Chains A and B, each alone.
Chain A
Amino acid sequence: MHWRTLLQHIGTICVLGGALAWAPAWAHHVLGRPAYALNEDSNTPPALQLEVQIGDYFVTSMVFPAFPKSGKPARVNLYARHLDSGNPYTGEVRFLVRDDKWFADEPELLGVQPPNDYVFRQGMVFSADGNYIISAEFEADGEPYVIDFPLRIGNPAPIGPLGLALGTIIFVLVSVSVIQRRRLPGARIRHEHRDARS
């Protein structure tokens, strides 16, 4: 028996395992404000931070507060800079909103905003929870730019994918069951015929 080889393998595993398990713990505690105390002017991180490159511009947009709710003020901040020069865009930006669904109504204009310290800020209040698409439009060097990003207000019921998954599974299981009910008697008869012949 090559016990020495075996012990070498076990040793290798133990050394690797031990190296991974050795762990000086670092405790930390950070005080924060409760989420219910937040509004659109809170100095909290945004709920959504979108960074996109479009044409010659790099656009960053953020939504405040962290959890926009219907009936409460929310705000979109947008910042665009030219990719080559790094200069911020200084024209105007049009903000529009529409429902995030097929066959949605025409977009509704939220406002046209000039820059304020190079940041375009658009305030808004949504009357109902749901999924929306915010569009920011601007024109630079004769080219139109449109940036769409999704925004969730409140907590819309995510039954859709769950229902779709369960529906698919139930449909397949029921179909298989029905097909098998039709197949099994035939198979049984064929078996009996075969047995009778033999």
Chain B
Amino acid sequence: MTMAHPGLPVVWAAAVLTLIGLLSMWALLAPAPQVRRGVTLSLARLPGIGGAISRMLTTPWVLLPLKLIMVGLFLLVIVAGLFGTPIPERNIATVLTWTLWWSGLIISIFFLGSAWCAVCPWDTLAQWLVRRRFWGRAESNNSLNLRLPRALQNVWPALVMFIGLTWLELGAGITVDPYVTALVALLMVVMATVSLAVFGRKAFCRNICPVGRTIGFYSQLAAVEIRPIDQDICMSCETLECYHGNADIEPCPTSLVMGRLTQNSYCTSCGNCTQSCPEQNISWRLRPPSMEAMYGARPHWDEAWFMLTLLALTAFHGLTMLPYWDVWMSDMARVLGDSGRMLWTFTIGLLSVLCIVAAIYAVLVSLTQRLMHVDLSYRRFFSTFAFVALPLAFAYHIAHNLNHLLGESASIGPVFANPLGVGAIPLSMAEMHARQMVIAPQTLATVQAALLVIGFVVAVQVVRLRGFGLLVSADASGAQRRGWCLLPLLIFAGGMTLFHLWLLMQPMIMRM
């Protein structure tokens, strides 16, 4: 028997629908938006605690204990997965990885940006193994320092890995298999280590890691960033320690120059720049969330596809947890002649959702291009508007994950007491029923509805700011009065939000 989370109440769905309708009307009729650089606040300049924060950022002694804890938990996941009970809800490998970490990680991005990457255990282990040092700069002869082949110097490898991870998660069912969870953890360590030993800097983090890139793109919507405290100091800097490192600190693992950094996508929050800057001019700072997606981040073809895939796969994630999913798969498998675990059918379903979302977006971008009548390439339109996928995907992803995190994490205590599940028996029906949300269902519904509305608001702003930006850059006549040209993309944002709303209204099958 499977357990399900209740869907969003109709009253909340009606409220979301009304707000979406009103916002859409406003978006079509409102005058052209102005890009307003939001106010930022460097944490190093906070009164009272700024000095302490500044000192914490310039020492490795804050990150090192955190890395040790993460590596310890990661090794525990591997040991528990390989040697522990195969019962998923009783083994810390599956509970910690899929219920706590993977669900909580996405939510943490809004508050902490890419902070996870700074303490990422597979990268830490790879670094310790290859560099043979716990901290500080290592000898360069530990790695071949080859350049990643040009064809792979983009996010296509990460995109393929991300689709593969989703296939493993939802198709092959690794979320309920501690052993395979441990195998995937081992695979991440092997890939990160081999990449670090062969290629220069951290090609794995920048181009291959599906987790890192997902965090990177979502962190464009985060409320925090690592940036120079005083931009003028960076402009006059000639030594670029943030990029090259210094005698004690490694260079930026993803080859970023702080003075020119405008987006979070590739920053791994590793702290090398905050430690190596001789002026102590780099710090975390608060900023208006989503400003990068709206206007700060530069569009790229490969990144546009990653963002669209993120949107498609989050929706697909929700689809696979509907009670009807098994029936659809079953019917499709009979048509296709598939049997057993129906992995072919699942794969076709996954690729179909990817293609459908991409095709709808591509057609609507084409329509927008025709309506706008400006002399810019289709590729530019496609890449520029793809940022609309980020808030839509992020909002639904968080809303969906809240169900897992708050509804399925109630049985975590005993798992920590017995991480390998020695002598444990599967969760009984009584225990499953006794699991309660750690917040009231009404509160959760409120937060989920609010998230969808916020996601739609940001998506509308992305379309308007980037759309009018294109009109202005193409010097189109009457650019200020042509908001209606953006109607196809507003339909895309509204349509995806409504689909996400429908998904949230359905009962959702629990993972374990």
> Residues of A at under 8 Å CB distance from B?
1-3, 5-6, 9-10, 12-13, 16-17, 19-20, 22-26, 28, 30, 32-36, 38, 44-45, 47-48, 52-56, 58, 66, 83, 147, 152, 155, 158, 161-162, 165, 168-169, 172-173, 176-177, 179-180, 184
Contact = CB atoms under 8 A, between A and B. Distances in A.
A5 B86 contact: no
A19 B447 contact: yes
A35 B90 CA distance: 13
A161 B186 contact: yes
A55 B144 CA distance: 53
Contacts of A30: 428, 430-431, 434
B68 interface: no
Given A45-B425, A53-B333, 18 more contacts: A3-B39, A5-B39, A6-B286, A9-B286, A17-B111, A19-B446, A20-B439, A20-B447, A32-B425, A32-B428, A48-B86, A53-B339, A147-B340, A155-B83, A161-B82, A165-B186, A172-B198, A173-B130
B492 to A, nearest CB: 26
Contacts of A3: 39
Contacts of A32: 425, 428
A34 B423 contact: yes
Contacts of B183: 161
A180 B223 CA distance: 43
Contacts of B424: 35
Contact of A53 (B38, B342, B447): B342
Contacts of B189: 165, 169
Contacts of A9: 223, 286-289
Interface string B445-464: 01100000000000000000
B153 interface: no
A168 B191 CA distance: 10
A177 B198 CA distance: 11
B150 interface: no
Contacts of A35: 423-425
A10 to B, nearest CB: 7
Interface residues of B, number: 57
B334 interface: yes
Interface in B388-446: 402, 410, 423-426, 428, 430-431, 434, 436, 438-440, 443, 446
B339 A55 contact: yes
A180 B186 contact: no
Contacts of A36: 423
B28 to A, nearest CB: 26
A6 B288 CA distance: 8
Given A5-B38, A13-B223, A19-B447, A162 B82 contact: yes
A83 B330 contact: yes
Query: Is the contact region of chain B dominated by helix, strand, or loop, or is it mixed?
Result: helix
Interface of B: 38-39, 41, 78, 82-83, 86-87, 107, 110-111, 129-130, 141-144, 179, 182-183, 186-187, 189-190, 193-194, 197-198, 223, 286-289, 330, 333-334, 339-342, 402, 410, 423-426, 428, 430-431, 434, 436, 438-440, 443, 446-447
Nearest to B438: A23
A23 B197 contact: no
A170 B434 CA distance: 47
Contacts of B402: 20
A54 B197 contact: no
Contacts of B78: 162
B330 A176 contact: no
Contacts of A33: 425
Contacts of B341: 52
Contact of B438 (A12, A25, A147, A152): A25
A44 B425 contact: yes
B82 A54 contact: no
B39 A1 contact: yes
Given A6-B286, A32-B428, A36-B423, A158 B179 contact: yes
A35 B334 CA distance: 40
B495 to A, nearest CB: 26
Contact of B443 (A19, A34, A47, A176): A19
Return the 6 tightest CB-CB contacts between A and B, nearest first. A26-B436, A28-B434, A54-B339, A45-B426, A158-B82, A2-B39
Given A23-B438, A30-B434, A165-B186, A58 B428 contact: no
Contacts of B340: 52-54, 147
A172 B190 CA distance: 10
Contacts of A173: 129-130, 193, 197
Contact of B425 (A38, A55, A147): A38
Contacts of A58: 330
Contacts of B428: 30, 32, 45
Contacts of B194: 168-169, 172
B330 A24 contact: no
